[in-house]
Amino acid sequence: MTESLPRFSAAATRIAGEDAVVEILRLAERPGVISLAGGLPDPAVFQVEETRAAMERVLAEHASEALNYSPNPGVTALRELLAERMGEREGIPAHPDEILVVSGGVEGIRHALNGLCDPGDPLLVEDPTYLAALHIARELGLRPTPVASDSEGPIPEALDEVCDRLAGARLLYANPTFSNPTGRTWSRERRMRILEVCERRDVFVVEDHAYAELRYDGTPVPALKAIAPERVIFIHTFSKIFGPGLRLGWVAANPALVARFGLLKLGSDQCSGALVQRLAIAYAESGALDRQVRCSRALYRDKRDAMLGALEAGGSDSPLGLPSVRPEGGFFLWLDTAVDTEVLLPRAIEDHRVAFVAGAPFFADPESPPARTSLRLSFSHVPARDIPEAIRRLGASVGAAG
Amino acid sequence: MTESLPRFSAAATRIAGEDAVVEILRLAERPGVISLAGGLPDPAVFQVEETRAAMERVLAEHASEALNYSPNPGVTALRELLAERMGEREGIPAHPDEILVVSGGVEGIRHALNGLCDPGDPLLVEDPTYLAALHIARELGLRPTPVASDSEGPIPEALDEVCDRLAGARLLYANPTFSNPTGRTWSRERRMRILEVCERRDVFVVEDHAYAELRYDGTPVPALKAIAPERVIFIHTFSKIFGPGLRLGWVAANPALVARFGLLKLGSDQCSGALVQRLAIAYAESGALDRQVRCSRALYRDKRDAMLGALEAGGSDSPLGLPSVRPEGGFFLWLDTAVDTEVLLPRAIEDHRVAFVAGAPFFADPESPPARTSLRLSFSHVPARDIPEAIRRLGASVGAAG
C-alpha cells in the first residue's frame, strides 16, 4: 500500500532544504563530539534559585492570570517594565503602547517581515546575516538582497545604490550589535549614516538586539532605535539575558505597527504565555535579571578570550587563521577558511569529533564563494576546558580537508 | 510633522478588520459588565498547588534543559507521553515521531494551513467555524469555502458537490467535537461518511480536538484521527485541560508532515518553551492533569445546565429562544436571534451590561444572513451565580433591539 500524503504548499517547499541544518545539529549532539554549533546560553548563567523563587511568587500571587490567556499584546505590567527598562538601560524612550510581547525574537522578526513585505519584495540584509531571518524571508517569498559591508557595518553608498536599483526596497533587517553570525558591531558613525540613508529613502529598519546586552569590552554604541526611533522596529528577547526556554521577547515600534503585528500574532499563537510573562516580571523585579546579565558577561568574556587564545596559539601554521572580527560581545566567532565548509562539516563531526555551523545558510546566496568557505563558531555553550581541544580538532579537520 | 509609517503588506491588510473584535473584547472587560464573550477556562479548575509542586520538580531536576532551547519538534519525553496518552484515552495509535509540540492549537492550525495550501486555494470549513482558523486563512490568502451542515455534522453530498465544483479543494478544517462556536458534535456515522468522501476525493482533514476531553454527558464518539489516521492532521492543546497560560499544544500527523511543520515552526517561534513542556510532563505524571479534566467536567456541566436552564426559564415569550444545539461538552452555546448582533453588541454592553461574541466573524461570509443574527455565549468563565442575571440582561437587550 502506498502512503497517501498531501502536497506541500509553495511556502513549505521553499524551506524544505533547511532539513539539512536540522539534521546536522542532531549529529552534533552525538556523545564525544565537542559542539561549537548551537548558539545556546551556558546553563551556568541560569539563576535557578532566583527563578524558583520568582515562580513561587507568581503562583502564590497571580496563579489565575498566569495560567489563563494573556492579553494579546502582552501582560500590561510586563509592557510597562520593558518600556521603563529600555529607557533606563538603552536610552530608548518607549511607552508601554509601543511594546508587543512576543514568543522570542524570531516571532517578532516574522511579524515585521510578514506585516511589511509582500511576496517578491526585496528584503535588505547584511551578508551574512541571521539565518532565521533568511528562513522567514524565504518562506514568505521575499528576495533577501545583500547590502555590501566593511568592518564598520553596511556601506551607506551601497545601501543607496541598492535603493536606486530596487524601487521596492522598503525594509532592512539588521543585527547591528555583536551580529549573529559574524560578531561584528556597527560603529556609531556608521549607524548615523545608514539611518540617514534610510530616512532619505524611506526604508524602515528591523533592529535585532538579541545579543546587545552582552558586551565584554570596548565602548558601548547606541541602539539604532535610540538614534532614530521612528525608523526602527526594535526586537529584543529574554533568550540571552534570562533563558530561551521561556520563549519570550518583545517588539518596540510605533503603536500602529504594534497593533497590526498583534493581529498577526492572533494567527501565530494568539498571545504569549502569561506564565512566563509573569515569571519574567517577578525575576526582573527581584534584581535577578540584572545580576544574570552581569554574570553572563564575565563568563562569556572568558570563553571568548579562551577561543581567541586557542586560535592565536595555532600560530601562522594553523589552517584556521584568525577571525577578521574580534567581537566585543555576543556568542560567535566567524572564520573564513580555504575549504568548502558544508563538505567539511560531516567529516569534522565523524573523523574529528568537533561541530560548527557551516556559513552557507547565513548568506542571501548560499552558493556565493564566501558562503562556501566560512563557518561560525559559538563559544557560549561549550565548556571552557574543552575550548583548546575543540580548536585543535577543528584545525586538524580543516588541515585534512585543505 | 506628519508621522512616517511603513505601508502594510497585503497579508496584514487582509486581517486589518479584526481590530474590531479586539476592541469589543476590551469593552467587555469593563467593571459591571457580565461577560459571556471570551472562551476562557474558569480559574477554579486550575490545580494551583499541583502546578506549584510540578514546577518545583522541574526546576529541581531539569533546570538546565527547562531554561534552554527545546528540540524543535518538542521535548522527547513530552512527545512520548502525548503519544501514549492519545493511545490510552482516544484510541489513537501514535508514535512520538508523529508528534510536533506547538505553542497552542492555533500554531498547529497555522502550520497545517500554511504548509498545505497556497494563496487562492479553497479551505473547506464548517459554517460557522472557529474564527482563528478563518483569521489564518485570510492572512494566507486562502478562500474559506463552507460545506453545508445539518444537526449531525457536514453533509457528505455537500462535501462531494464542493469537491466537484472546486478542483483545488484539498483541505478541510473541522472542529467536530463540541465545536467552537456552535457546541455541535458530529455523529459517529457522519464521521465515517465524511471521511469516506475525503478518502475518495483525496481531501485531508485538520481535526481541531481542543474541547473534546470536556464531555459532560451523552455517548463518546471516536476522534476522526482514530477512524482514519492517515487522512487526519490532529491538533490538540493543553489550553482547556491544563491552562492557556502555558501556550502549549501538539499536532499528531504523518512524520513527513511533522518534519515539515517543524521547519515552518523554525520561522514562527523556533521551538515551544522547554519550561512549560517540562511542566506539562511533571503535571501529567503526577496525575494532576487527569484530575483537572475530571473536575473541569463537573464544573462546566453545572454551568452549561445553569445557562440552558436560564434560557428555558425565559419561556416562549423570551426574545432569545433556545439554542438549536444542546452541547454535550465544550464551552459554548449558539443562538440565532431576530436582530443584527454586531449592531446589538455595543448596545448590550453599554445599556445592559452584558457581553457576548457576535456571530459574523465565525462565518466564511460575515455578511450572510445567519452570520448577522447569530451570537456565541460562553458559559465557561462567567461565575455560575451570575448566569441567570446575564441571560436576563441579554434577553432585555435583544428585546429592546427587536
Q: Give B150-207 as a DSSP string.
A: ETTEE-HHHHHHHHHH-TT--EEEE--SS-TTT-----HHHHHHHHHHHHHHT-EEEE
A367, A359, A301, A312: which is closest to A334 by C-alpha?
Answer: A359
Tell me the nearest-neighbour CA distance from A175 into chain B, angstroms: 17
Closest residue in B to A8 (Cα–Cα): B116
The answer to whether B323 touches B365, Cβ cutoff 8 Å, is: no
Evaluate whether residue A167 is within a structural domain.
Answer: yes
Evaluate whether residue B247 is within a structural domain.
Answer: yes
Give me the pLDDT at residue A2, please: 46
CATH code at position B235: 3.40.640.10
Residue by residue, pLDDT tens for chain B (402 residues) are 346 899 999 999 999 987 777 777 777 788 999 999 989 999 999 999 999 999 999 999 999 999 999 999 999 999 999 999 999 999 999 999 999 999 999 999 999 999 999 999 999 999 999 999 999 999 999 999 999 999 999 999 999 999 999 988 999 999 999 999 999 999 999 999 999 999 999 999 999 999 999 999 999 999 999 999 999 999 999 999 999 999 999 999 999 999 999 999 999 999 999 999 999 999 999 999 999 999 999 999 999 999 999 999 988 778 999 999 999 999 999 999 999 999 999 999 999 999 999 999 999 998 888 899 999 999 999 999 999 999 999 999 999 997
Give me the pLDDT at residue B3, please: 61
Give me the pLDDT at residue A3, please: 61
**Measured distance CA(A187)–CA(B3) in Å, rounded:** 28
Measured over the CA atoms of residue B42, residue B43, residue B49 and residue B53, the dihedral's sign is positive
Q: Which of A238, A258, A286 is the endpoint of a domain?
A: A286
Evaluate whether residue A378 is within a structural domain.
Answer: yes
A134, A76, A81, A145: which is closest to A106 by C-alpha?
Answer: A134
Evaluate whether residue B339 is within a structural domain.
Answer: yes
The answer to whether B215 touches B183, Cβ cutoff 8 Å, is: no
Contact A260 B51 (CB under 8 A): no
**Measured distance CA(B183)–CA(B222) in Å, rounded:** 17
Given A68, A106, A275, which is nearest B40 (Cβ)?
A68
Which residues 40-79 of chain A have a CB within 8 Å of chain B?
40-41, 43, 46, 48, 51-52, 55-56, 59, 63-70, 72
- Which helix (H) or strand (E) covers residue A116, if one does? helix A105-116
**Measured distance CA(A57)–CA(A77) in Å, rounded:** 15
Instruction: Locate B354 and state its grid cell.
Output: 452584558
Size of interface A-B (CB pairs under 8 A): 246
Mean pLDDT of A358-370: 92
Give me the pLDDT at residue A1, please: 38
pLDDT digits (tens, 9 = 90+) for B118-128: 999 999 999 99
Tell me the nearest-neighbour CA distance from B199 into chain A, angstroms: 10
Q: Is A218 helix (H, G, I), strand (E, B) or coil?
A: coil
DSSP A12-28: HHHTGGGHHHHHHHHHT
Flag whether residue A1 sits within 8 Å of chain B, measured between CB atoms: no
Tell me the nearest-neighbour CA distance from A185 into chain B, angstroms: 25
- Which helix (H) or strand (E) covers residue B10, if one does? helix B10-14
**Measured distance CA(B384)–CA(A225) in Å, rounded:** 49
**Residue B80: Cβ within 10 Å count:** 15
Tell whether B243 and B123 lie within a shared domain. Answer: yes
Tell whether A170 and A265 lie within a shared domain. Answer: yes
Q: Are strands A374-378 and A357-358 parallel, antiparallel or unpaired?
A: antiparallel
- Domain holding B246, by residue range, is 64-286
The answer to whether B97 touches B82, Cβ cutoff 8 Å, is: no
Q: What ranges make up the beta strands (E) of B8-113?
A: 34-35, 99-102
Report percent pLDDT > 70 for chain A. Answer: 99
Cis preceding linkage at A323, omega within 30: no
Distance of alpha carbon A155 from the chain centroid: 21
Tell whether B99 and B180 lie within a shared domain. Answer: yes
**Measured distance CA(B133)–CA(B139) in Å, rounded:** 10
Q: Which chain B residues are within 8 Å of A110, Cβ to Cβ?
A: 267-268
Total tally of structural domains belonging to chain A: 2
Total residue count of chain B as it appears in this document: 402
Evaluate whether residue A91 is within a structural domain.
Answer: yes
Contact A63 B72 (CB under 8 A): no
pLDDT digits (tens, 9 = 90+) for A46-76: 999 999 999 999 999 999 999 999 999 999 9
Report percent pLDDT > 90 for chain A. Answer: 91
Tell whether B73 and B198 lie within a shared domain. Answer: yes
Give pairs for B388-391: CB < 8 Å, separation 24+.
B388/B306, B388/B310, B388/B313, B389/B34, B390/B34, B390/B36, B390/B310, B390/B354, B391/B307, B391/B310, B391/B311, B391/B313, B391/B314, B391/B320
Tell whether A112 and A234 lie within a shared domain. Answer: yes
The residue written with cell numbers 473541569 in the block is B296
Which residues 92-111 of chain B have a CB within 8 Å of chain A?
103-104, 106-107, 110
Tell whether A136 and A205 lie within a shared domain. Answer: yes
CATH code at position B23: 3.90.1150.10
Instruction: Locate B358 and state its grid cell.
Output: 457576535
A17, A58, A97, A11: which is closest to A286 by C-alpha?
Answer: A58
The residue written with cell numbers 502564590 in the block is A60
Give pairs for B152-157: CB < 8 Å, separation 24+.
B152/B186, B152/B187, B152/B189, B152/B190, B153/B126, B153/B184, B153/B185, B153/B186, B153/B187, B153/B190, B153/B191, B153/B194, B154/B126, B154/B186, B154/B190, B154/B194, B156/B190, B156/B193, B156/B194, B156/B196, B156/B197
Q: Are strands B204-208 and B232-237 parallel, antiparallel or unpaired?
A: parallel
Contact A245 B115 (CB under 8 A): no
Tell whether B232 and B341 lie within a shared domain. Answer: no
Tell whether B201 and B308 lie within a shared domain. Answer: no
Tell whether A246 and A103 lie within a shared domain. Answer: yes
Tell me the nearest-neighbour CA distance from B253 into chain A, angstroms: 10
The residue written with cell numbers 517594565 in the block is A81
The DSSP bridge partners found for residue A376 are A334, A357
**Measured distance CA(A261)–CA(A235) in Å, rounded:** 12
Evaluate whether residue A197 is within a structural domain.
Answer: yes
Given B3, B4, B114, which is nearest A9 (Cβ)?
B114
Contacts of A290 by beta carbon, 8 Å cutoff, 6+ apart: A284
Contacts of B15 by beta carbon, 8 Å cutoff, 6+ apart: A263, A264, A266, A267, B135, B138, B139
**Measured distance CA(B70)–CA(B75) in Å, rounded:** 6
Which residues 155-214 of chain A have a CB within 8 Å of chain B?
170-171, 202, 204
Tell whether A129 and A200 lie within a shared domain. Answer: yes
How much is the ipTM here? 0.97
Contact B51 A67 (CB under 8 A): yes
Evaluate whether residue B307 is within a structural domain.
Answer: yes
Contact B16 A41 (CB under 8 A): no
Contacts of A55 by beta carbon, 8 Å cutoff, 6+ apart: A279, A282, B55, B59
Evaluate whether residue B55 is within a structural domain.
Answer: no
Tell whether B101 and B250 lie within a shared domain. Answer: yes
**Measured distance CA(A128)–CA(B231) in Å, rounded:** 41
Best to test chain B binding among A202, A268, A278, A378 (most B CBs inside 10 Å): A268
Q: pLDDT band at A23, cuts 50/70/90?
A: confident
Q: Which of B227, B261, B286 is the endpoint of a domain?
A: B286
Give me the pLDDT at residue A73, please: 95
B371, B381, B377: which is closest to B394 by C-alpha?
Answer: B377
Which residues 223-252 of chain B have a CB within 8 Å of chain A?
230-231, 242-247
- Which helix (H) or strand (E) covers residue A83, if one does? helix A76-90
Give me the pLDDT at residue A216, please: 98
**Measured distance CA(B338)–CA(B37) in Å, rounded:** 19
Residue type, B144: P
The answer to whether B337 touches B398, Cβ cutoff 8 Å, is: yes
Total residue count of chain A as it appears in this document: 402
Tell whether A109 and A23 lie within a shared domain. Answer: no
Closest residue in A to B243 (Cα–Cα): A67
Q: Which residues of A226-251 are buried (b: 16+ CB within 10 A; e: fewer)?
A: bbbbebbbbbbbbbbbbbbbbbbbbb
- Residue A147 burial (C-beta neighbours within 10 Å; 0-12, 13-18, 19+): buried
Given A72, A247, A267, which is nearest B139 (Cβ)?
A267
Q: Which of A286, A312, A333 is the endpoint of a domain?
A: A286
